[in-house]
Amino acid sequence: MPGRHRTNVSAAFVGHDRAVNEATAEPGVLLPNTLQHVSETPAQRGIPSVDRIVREMSGHDLPRLLIVNVARTIVSEVRRAAIDNPTDAAHPEITADRVLEQVKAALTRLEAGRIRPVINATGIILHTNLGRAPLGLGAVQKIGDTAAHYSTLEYDLVEGTRGRRGSYVESALAALCGADAATVVNNCAAALVLILRHFATRKGRREVVISRGELVQIGGGFRVPEILAASGARLREVGTTNQTTLDDYRQALSSRTAMILRVHRSNFFMGGFVRAPAAAELSALAREAAVPFVEDLGSGATFDTRGLGGGEHEPTPTSALADGADLVCFSGDKLLGGPQAGIIAGRKTFVHALKKQPFFRALRCDKLVLSALEATVDAHLAGQQPAEVPAHAMMRLTVEELRPRAQHIVDAITSPQLVAKVGHCQSQVGGGSLPQTLLDSVAVDLLPHGRQSAEQWAKALRLRRAGPIIGLVTESRLRLDLRTVFPTQDEALITALRQLAAT
């Protein structure tokens, strides 16, 4: 067996070399032999060799093999199109330039897919597409330290033996949530899957009772009914979209019930004729039926969110557990302001049982995430947010603090080529958190004139090699909301906007 394995590995390397050699040869090798010497159409004759294409793409900072692969794919597509349409008089001139343009565009897209820092001028604080919560300095330093060295990840310094991964952060999270116990997995979706697989996959007891008003979709790909189904649980929906009573829940309970689940609506809100039982009532009902009551809180606010101006109240893990939830789960990178993680807190027996699930091993966090989470939770416990939790600092910024920065930038960039104004706008928390909360904010508004449009400017700023800047096009202007721009980025913004004006 080991011998066979080795053969496979070396075969893979041979194949790899051949790919490179072929790629640098004439494009004809991509075709079956019979086709190679068939007389070429004008269109086919215009196609440059892969070798030439690769030589001309020196401006791209990409591994050579990737450039070769892209060039080969496009050349073979173009050749196939030329063969399929040999007499297409309307498109005979597939010129070298056009193929080169295609390859260049594909490489630009490929390069743009790399993870790199951006300046977030959207005003959306927990922007899921931009990585949600930026981490505080303490967390960043701790990640670097852990990454570059060996660590106590699973080592017990007192005993000198193997220790428990995450032992400190679990205690710290339990304290932060007012819980008996806590643990961490990859993200909140994973936390919910783990909970469902543990409680709702026993024979005869698979039903998860949940209100129809909570069968929500959160962001891309997280739909509560689908997560339930994928976890092996059965959905037992009760009530209506806007009204669910305690009686609705009670009538759904049976010997098949595995748990009562409440899912926070997160990214939308309902007003008007809306009713749902209080958490305390649901927990009492669950206790009567001897089933667990679990709340997916999503955002995981650990502070009173009503102070943010929207007047919106998010249940905190502490309040949800005090109201009787047996377990809560929430994200690490939403209102907690830490790294991507899914936190589970609540009854000790349940948390320990979840950790014994074989599936837990597949969902556990790595040492870098645990390091960042430790630092973030420590900052919360020490009352050091907002200083150590940038998302919190951004939520608390006032118009008075933002306006002088906007004025400074506007003064620095205004020129005959660039009309800029201090604009007033409203920022959002984002990440599916506090959808009704709008924070009064200040922006640098760029007003296009002549042949330029706000969209063109937005694209130019996104594709900046020196560092992308993401703004919002609104009311035919490009708006850069300063709430989510770090003050240390103001000068970079000025440089970028001056360059924009000069193009």
Ligand X SMILES: *Cc1c(COP(=O)(O)O)cnc(C)c1O
Residue nearest ligand X (C-beta atom): 298
Q: Which is nearer to ligand X, 369 or 442 (CB)?
A: 369
List beta partners, residue 442: 424
Task: Check residue 316 for interaction with ligand X (CB under 6 A).
Answer: no
Contact stretch for ligand X (CB under 6 A) within 94-102, 147-155, 196-204, 260-268: 260-268
**No. of helices (H) and no. of strands (E), the chain:** 20, 15
Listed ranges 156-164, 258-266, 269-277, 391-399: which one lies at the site for ligand X (CB under 6 A): 258-266
CB nearer ligand X, residue 211 or residue 331: 331
Q: Which is nearer to ligand X, 179 or 194 (CB)?
A: 194
Q: For the chain, first and last CA: distance in Å?
A: 62
What is d(CA 381, CA 377) in angstroms, rounded to the nearest whole number? 6
Residue 89 CB, shortest distance to ligand X, in Å, is 54
Residues in the interface with ligand X (CB under 6 A) total 14
Within 10 angstroms of residue 206's Cβ, the number of other Cβ atoms is: 21
Distance CA 503, CA 493 (A): 16
Integer-rounded Cα radius of gyration of the chain: 28
Of 474, 449, 473, 443, nearest to 461 by C-alpha is 473
Site for ligand X in 71-130 (CB under 6 A): none
Minimum Å distance from CB 432 to ligand X? 4
Which one among 315, 342, 430, 471 touches ligand X, defined by CB under 6 A?
Answer: 342
* Site track for ligand X across 265-294, x = CB under 6 A: -x----------------------------
Name which of residues 170 to 199 contact ligand X (CB under 6 A).
187-189
Give the one residue of 136, 213, 277, 432 binding ligand X; rule: CB under 6 A: 432
CA distance 299 to 265: 10
Instruction: State whether residue 423 is helix, strand or coil.
Output: strand
Residue with smaller CB distance to ligand X, 253 or 345: 345
CB of 144 to ligand X, least distance (A): 24
Among 155, 168, 222, 303, indicate the residue that binds ligand X (CB under 6 A). 222
DSSP assignment of 22-49, as one string?
HHHS-GGGGS-HHHHTSPPPHHHHTPPP
| Residue tagged 């993401």 (tokens) | 470
Q: In this chain, which of 123, 166, 239, 298 binds ligand X, going by CB under 6 A? A: 298
**Residue of 302, 331, 427, 428 interacting with ligand X (CB under 6 A):** 331
CB of 139 to ligand X, least distance (A): 17
**Could you tell me if 494 and 461 are in contact, meaning their C-beta atoms sit under 8 angstroms apart?**
no
CA-to-CA dists, residue 431 to 348, 364, 495, angstroms: 29, 22, 30
Side-chain half-sphere exposure of 163, counting CA atoms within 13 A: 14
The conformation of residue 325, written as its DSSP 8-state character, comes to -
Q: Quick one: 126 or 425, whose CB is closer to ligand X?
A: 126
Nearer residue to ligand X within complex by CB, 181 or 218 = 218
Q: With respect to ligand X, which residue has the nearer C-beta, 346 or 471? A: 346
CB of 339 to ligand X, least distance (A): 10
**What's the closest the beta carbon of residue 381 comes to ligand X, in angstroms?**
21
Binding mask 202-221 for ligand X (x = CB under 6 A): ----------------x---
Between 266 and 305, whose beta carbon lies closer to ligand X? 266
Cβ proximity to ligand X, 134 vs 342, nearer residue: 342
Read off φ and ψ for residue 268, nearest 5 degrees.
Answer: -150, 170
Residue indicated by tokens 């004759």: 45
- Which is closer to ligand X, CB of 36 or CB of 268? 268
Interacting residue with ligand X among 237, 248, 295, 296 (CB under 6 A)? 296
Contacts of 94 (CB under 8 A, 6+ apart): 43, 44, 46, 47, 78, 81, 82
SS3 311: coil
Closest distance to ligand X from the beta carbon of 485 (Å): 24
How far is residue 464's CA from residue 59's CA, in Å, rounded to a whole number?
14
Q: Are 355 and 183 in contact (CB under 8 A)?
A: yes
Nearest approach in angstroms of CB 323 to ligand X is 17
CA distances from 294 to 246, 265, 363 (A): 16, 14, 19
By the 8 A CB rule, do 302 and 381 touch?
no
Taking the C-alpha atoms of residue 301 and residue 330, their distance in angstroms, rounded to an integer, is 9
Order the strands of the 257-263 sheet from edge to edge: 181-185, 342-346, 327-331, 293-298, 257-263, 207-211, 234-238
Minimal distance in Å, beta carbon 321 to ligand X?
16
Which listed residue (206, 236, 264, 405) binds ligand X by CB under 6 A?
A: 264
* Alpha carbon distance 493, 499 (integer Å): 10
Determine which residue in the list 172, 174, 182, 263 makes contact with ligand X, applying CB under 6 A. Answer: 263
Q: Which residues bind ligand X (CB under 6 A)?
A: 187-189, 218, 222, 263-264, 266, 296, 298-299, 331, 342, 432
